[in-house]
Amino acid sequence: MLLFRKTLFNFFSSRKYYTSYYKRTINKYKYPEAYLKLYTSLNSFNKTLETEVNISFLEGIGFGANLHKVKAKLRNSYRVVNELKSIVILFTEVKMLGYKFIIEMHFFKQKLVCFKYVFRNELDKTRLKNMIAEKYLKELNISDDLIDYCIKDVNENYIFLIDEVSLSINYMSYKYGFYNHLSQLNTEREIKELLKRKKETIELYNRL
């Protein structure tokens, strides 16, 4: 009965995940380039700060966590989509300490491989950055803007911030074969497009 009530609640409250914002976001993740761009951003930092604090989603839910286990732990409604082979995205919205933010959780072969917090239209971004520094870099006494650094834990999991229209806090890992899968998908797509252009070139040549 409890599971039925939770399913019913999620069904009616998940309507908010069908706005134009989510439509644009989901459309972006139809292509591996969206993920590869994040990995490129991660590799672009001049300096990596190491932390002794384990980087994870919640206590007991770290990278590699099973999708069904994560869904069972969530208290809020959510939406799950599948746009790329073997990749599932879970969206949920949270209100906390006056902040309203979106959580994206990305699973490859049912395992959590990256997630991000997206703070839209928030003015007090400095407070959020200070909280990240306090949690992960307390011993380093960082005075610079965290936007210039990425943070790495002992398991080679990473955090980095992107401050554009929205502030996004990105959590990523190179483990579980996700990066290699994306690279393969991207290569296959490029080959497919190349063959298509070659075919169209031949067709046009024959028409002229």
Q: How far is CA 50 from the centre of its chain?
A: 21
Angle between helix 33-43 and helix 178-207 axes, rounded to 10 deg:
120
Q: In the numeric block, which tokens belong to residue 15?
A: 């309507």
Domain that holds residue 162: 2-207
* Cα–Cα dist 195/193, whole Å: 5
pLDDT at residue 146 in the model: 80
pLDDT at 1: 54
pLDDT at res. 93: 93
Q: Which long-range contacts (CB under 8 A, 24 or more apart) does 184-188 make?
A: 185/32, 185/84, 185/85, 186/32, 186/33, 186/36
What string of pLDDT tens digits covers the 208 residues of the chain?
554 555 555 544 567 888 888 999 999 998 888 899 889 888 888 788 999 999 999 888 999 999 999 999 888 899 999 888 889 999 999 988 888 899 999 999 999 999 999 998 767 788 888 889 889 987 666 656 788 889 999 999 999 998 888 889 999 998 899 988 888 888 887 888 888 888 888 887 788 8
Which candidate, 21, 13, 19, 27, places its Cα nearest to that of 120? 21
Q: What is the pLDDT, as a whole number, of residue 193?
A: 84
Tally of CB atoms within 10 A around 61:
17
Q: H or E segment at 33?
A: helix 33-43
Return the SS3 of 20. helix
In the chain, count H helices and then E strands.
6, 8
**CA–CA distance, 27 with 20 (Å, rounded to integer):** 10
Looking at the structure of the chain, the number of domains it has is 1
